[in-house]
Chains A and B, each alone.
Chain A
């Protein structure tokens, strides 16, 4: 974050909630969701825009504490929209369009598969086998397989989707860490 001092940040947390732990959770939740919204809007520098949003909101905390009524999340959202629009105008004027990201080469892909292998090993056995079964098959076979899994686990298909998603999140975190730690080629 750019100009955000500790004092300002504490003040911002105080505005979000009187309880420091609850405020920190709210802050993380707002940050994550605003980032996701900007990514969904195609923002090429979502993290930068979110930092700028938080800086601007933090700079107005004195005023907000006295005057703002309502859900702070929506205030952040309003500021994020303005920041994104300004960012679009600025990049449209000055920067060339973002370049395509290089696709992984075969070595990097091998590394990814190795990391997936290692991370699957770290998952509890039930979760690892659920993940493999969930993603197995194609088209109709995959749909049939998932219905069968949901019936076996005695849960709805929606609950199964969410369970698979949570395992995938855990797996993704582990794979990213593994890739960061892997020796560069």
Chain B
């Protein structure tokens, strides 16, 4: 079976101990039977070692890596190998005879310029500086908006679909605040087995009438799984609607709703 984007995310979360027990078991069942997934696990292990050695993990992942991933002695030995490989490659890829810094700036035909070339060069330099400034500022804004580290502690809830509305006795899952977790992970049980590669979208309706659109939906063991930061949950009633997103972009709503009561 070929792997999808969700599988890659799940494997990384599994290795870093960021999955709930139920999800861990589901992925382990698959690891035992699916060759491609097992190989992906090994590839991801390599990548985690390399990112750790190169100091490229986010602070949250780095902490999980040290506290969870490295807890088995086998992994600590592997880390030595990864460190050695990193050092070896760095040594091998340094130019044998690097050009001395002084030669780089004082010699070469590019320094013998006409006055016009000098003006063009100056203008060019100014433009490059402006572009670089815009890129840096944009990068900082993007980083602030996007680099929210994934929460590490989840409270997982299973929510069953209900064909009735809440008033007519539809099944309601209760969540009690405050939560001892950074986020909630909702497993929306699917009414029937669906294609493992299907994409989903979830609409979360609050009783105030506000609607939240959630497109980051994983499919795990016949459940559509979404995550919500705990801070976004206030006391009240919620209804969730699930849509299957077809390859042509059209959507089909799955009959029924999921109900939540946050107390």
Contact = CB atoms under 8 A, between A and B. Distances in A.
Interface stretch (A7-15, A51-59, A61-69, A132-140): A132-140
Interface residues of A, number: 43
B80 interface: yes
B32 A113 contact: no
Chain B contact-residue range equals 35 or more
A42 B88 contact: no
Interface string A130-165: 011001111100000000000000000000011011
Contacts of A164: 46
A135 B86 contact: yes
A33 B38 contact: yes
Contacts of B112: none
Of B42, B68, B75, B84, the most chain A CB neighbours within 10 A belong to B84
A172 B81 contact: yes
Contacts of A18: none
A127 interface: no
Contacts of A73: 32-33
25 contacts: A33-B31, A36-B31, A36-B38, A39-B74, A40-B14, A44-B71, A46-B72, A74-B32, A77-B28, A77-B29, A98-B73, A101-B73, A103-B80, A104-B80, A112-B80, A112-B84, A113-B88, A132-B89, A135-B89, A136-B93, A161-B47, A165-B39, A165-B42, A171-B85, A172-B81
Given A37-B31, A43-B72, A164-B46, 19 more contacts: A30-B32, A36-B31, A36-B41, A38-B72, A39-B74, A40-B14, A40-B41, A98-B73, A104-B80, A112-B80, A113-B87, A113-B88, A117-B88, A135-B85, A135-B86, A136-B93, A138-B54, A162-B43, A165-B43
